[in-house]
Chain A
């Protein structure tokens, strides 16, 4: 009887372990798949952006009034628009421009935010209060409304977007860096560096930064998606990159007027935008899986 009970218990334990292992495996499998697929998309996109002038079969603004609104074909992979411009070439150049802008509007705020957050966390006191309150204030605004307000001052164009994003984008990085700083401030190596009489700049730059930069960097991958959508959205509204410059949001907006006769302009250029976004989301998700749940973008 006792032997029988033990064997039942053992079997249950075995089933439970197997189930847990299967779950863990399926989780890790997802994370790996996301890492590889996301990573490949990002590599392809960055290469396409870097090599745009060589990949694009036509110049992005070359008109061909003899071949307007041609559906996709071997000559024009994504068809042509109402002015006979090759949509594929425009999209490739659009990727180049968008990636460049997105990297700037993601990593400049990261630098500013991490620096401010680190200083706030390290020194505490009124510096911390000022930074923290500013973060709260900035985060209370709808992001797009801030950007639009800045564009109202500067006029439509990239300058307004750069300022608007910088004004808002630093806040979350500051919060992340500050939280990390509060933890590492008390670590032995930090106290040791202080005890050795190193300058504050050296303590922060050489000892703190390498230890607190991980979570801002992981979050930045996901942030790229938001910034990509923002830049394309604002340009779609006519407040960002101005037509006829090839930018993905501008191309989608151009195609809207010809949706009935040329579905491919809007559909295919938007699809590229989605693919890039999914690539960065997957990469960000996989990195967050490995480096800490709290950095996941989707709540």
Chain B
């Protein structure tokens, strides 16, 4: 979550030394291998570590010995642990995680339908966060250490300490129950408009929760750019301040915004797990909670793997794009 963001940023600042693009690429890719292995093992061991018999846990004590035996065979529990692991990895490569006990359909299909909803929500949240954070960041960078900046700092502290489920419920109370503008909860997939309406409050909740983090980072990046000579030069040419900020400062600060967004993807996923449950959005977040409560182990394993890999891939993509855009990063190896 935020720890990870802070950590990556700190790491990027700390380490120095020469290097080139390919070495950077190679090292970065090599470093993600143990992480991918760890995520895979982590997802796999869940079913091994469950106390008692997973099949019995899932079907309950009324299950017949025959159905238990069938489920054990389907889950591969009748094989040795290394064999099970190989089976799990082999399945994971082709996206075959068996069948959901709860939904009675392949885990892959359950995840695929819901992933679309979750990713739309994440995208919508990111857009909301950017729309809120950019003006705030500009204001507090231009007015740094004045009251506007302090107010921003206090505001970001309050939103940061706010549990997302509570913020979501307050928004629902006001915009859905008091004003009746938007649905309280649920996901209406009739058409694009109803989908947008269903996702607006959840996206606003995650967006408001991300905005302060984004705004703080963007603020420091704008301050850094404001001190550059080309900004001075733009001013010296007599450009209006709005043009200096819009054309010269923002363009250089936006890279930072996109990077931060991709670095906090883990944080966003955590947020979406909670918010989807608040608003009863049928995405991956509500799926994993249901799966844990109902002991649907194949779904849990697949989702842990999926979330882990998503974070790794997005972080990797962000680092590589960033290195491609900004040569200064290549000097920094993590």
- Give which listed residue, B35, B157, B292, B295, contacts A136 with CB less than 8 A: B35
Indicate if the CB atoms of B50 and A299 lie closer than 8 Å: no
Docked complex Cα distance between A298 and B260 (Å):
12
- Give which listed residue, B9, B161, B266, contacts A225 with CB less than 8 A: B161
A interface, how many residues as a size bin? 35 or more
- Interface residue ranges of A12-37 to B (CB < 8 Å): 23, 26-27, 30
Indicate if the CB atoms of B273 and A30 lie closer than 8 Å: no
Q: Is A297 an interface residue (CB 8 A)?
A: yes
- Which chain A residues lie closer than 8 Å to B297 at the CB level? 152
Indicate if the CB atoms of B161 and A141 lie closer than 8 Å: no
Given contacts A144-B269, A145-B307, contact A237 B277 (CB under 8 A): yes
Give the distance to chain B from A175, nearest Cβ to Cβ, in Å.
7
Indicate if the CB atoms of B311 and A266 lie closer than 8 Å: no
Indicate if the CB atoms of A142 and B158 lie closer than 8 Å: no
Indicate if the CB atoms of A145 and B145 lie closer than 8 Å: no
Q: Is A8 an interface residue (CB 8 A)?
A: no
- Which chain B residues lie closer than 8 Å to A142 at the CB level? 1, 266-267, 269-270, 307-308, 311
Count residues on chain B whose CB falls below 8 Å from chain A CBs: 69
Mask, A288-299, CB within 8 Å of B = 1, is 000000100111
- Interface residue ranges of B246-304 to A (CB < 8 Å): 260, 266-267, 269-270, 273-274, 277-278, 288-289, 291-293, 295, 297, 300, 303-304
Give the distance to chain B from A40, nearest Cβ to Cβ, in Å.
15
Indicate if the CB atoms of A139 and B31 lie closer than 8 Å: no
Given contacts A225-B161, A266-B166, contact A145 B289 (CB under 8 A): no
Docked complex Cα distance between A242 and B167 (Å):
22
Mask, B169-185, CB within 8 Å of A = 1, is 11011000100000000
Please give me the residue from chain B that is nearest to A284 by CB atom.
B157
Q: Is A172 an interface residue (CB 8 A)?
A: yes
Q: Is A3 an interface residue (CB 8 A)?
A: no
Indicate if the CB atoms of A299 and B5 lie closer than 8 Å: yes
Indicate if the CB atoms of A274 and B166 lie closer than 8 Å: yes
Q: Is A63 an interface residue (CB 8 A)?
A: no
- Which chain A residues lie closer than 8 Å to B165 at the CB level? 232-233, 236, 249, 252-253
Indicate if the CB atoms of A140 and B161 lie closer than 8 Å: no
Mask, A237-279, CB within 8 Å of B = 1, is 1110000000001001101100110010011001001101110
Q: Is A190 an interface residue (CB 8 A)?
A: no
Q: Is B49 an interface residue (CB 8 A)?
A: yes
Given contacts A139-B4, A151-B292, A172-B7, contact A259 B172 (CB under 8 A): yes
